[in-house]
Amino acid sequence: MTAIPSTEEFWGVDSYRAFAFPLNADGSIQAVDDTVYEGLEIDGTRDFNLSPADGSVVVNIGNGRLRDTIYRAPRDASTAELLVGYGQSAIKAALSGVKTYTIGEMLAVARLTNMQGSEPDVAMIVTQRGHNEDGLTRFRHYILPKARVIPRDSSLNDNASQESFQITMSNSKKLIWGTALSVATHGVTDLTYEEYISELPLKVVGWVGDGSQDTFSLPTADPASSTAKLSIFNFTNGTEYTSGVTKSVTDQVFDYPVADGEVIVAVYEHAE
């Protein structure tokens, strides 16, 4: 496995995978205990259509001609839409802030409810598969630290089912794993989304310490491809663990139990 060079180019097609992570009040992903939390996979992704808002140009006219122009940052909202091929009741409920329920042996979820406008804040990761300039497989990811993802149902007609999720994005001063943005490191102090290129698919998972547990396991089906492609962060203070933990492709063993209520986030690449 190799590291991605700083000049890596990419081209791809379609949407490969998408995950949403409902957020706690402090912006951390909603892990609940030492069981690994993987977020909500939105299955059957087809297209992720990103619509960044356009800025405006103000012109200065004098002496019958254009004297100068000023570019002004966008004043409209940037939005996105995710198109999927499957109806997923549990995902719709979680992203709408409601619950699924049963009538007899039927599964139901309420739609267009009083919760409209009060949907939960989520982080989101959308991945595209493609190639670099040498024809080698690479993955591109958009990470949205603060968003709302609104399910929109499909029509019932003779076309193949296709459901969509309307996405609104908000600015964030932190990355999904808690690191604060800084001019020194990132060149910015807030952002709406990020773009990453990786050799292998990206995975973000989390746990919550209880004051006694010191070992936290990655998902059995998706171990890290190597420890070099694995980073572990303390969301509370936004720092990466560079000591105090022994990393492996399956289990992360801390020198001391993780404090009660402390959110730990792992970011890594895994084999397909």
Lowest-confidence range among 1-10, 226-235, 258-267? 1-10
Q: Does a structural domain hold residue 166?
A: yes
Q: Does a structural domain hold residue 68?
A: no
In which domain, by residue range, is 178 found? 11-53+73-200
Quote the pLDDT of residue 1.
64
Tokens read off for 68: 């100068």
Q: Torsion angle, CA of 177/183/184/185, rounded to 10 degrees?
A: 30
Residue 28 CB partners (closer than 8 Å, separation 6+): 178, 206, 235, 236, 263, 265
Quote the pLDDT of residue 114.
92
Alpha carbons 199 and 136: distance in angstroms, whole number: 9
Q: Does a structural domain hold residue 96?
A: yes
Q: Does a structural domain hold residue 193?
A: yes
* Whether residue 30 has pLDDT greater than 90: yes
Per the structure, the count of domains in the chain is 1
Quote the pLDDT of residue 159.
81
* Whether residue 86 has pLDDT greater than 80: yes
Quote the pLDDT of residue 8.
83
Q: Does a structural domain hold residue 237?
A: no
Q: Does a structural domain hold residue 144?
A: yes
Tens digit of each residue's pLDDT (9 = 90 or more) over 11-24: 998 888 999 999 99
Quote the pLDDT of residue 99.
94
How many Cβ atoms are within 10 Å of 191's Cβ, its own excluded? 19
Ordered strands of the 202-208 beta sheet:
202-208, 263-269, 230-234, 239-240
User: pTM (2 decimals)?
Assistant: 0.90
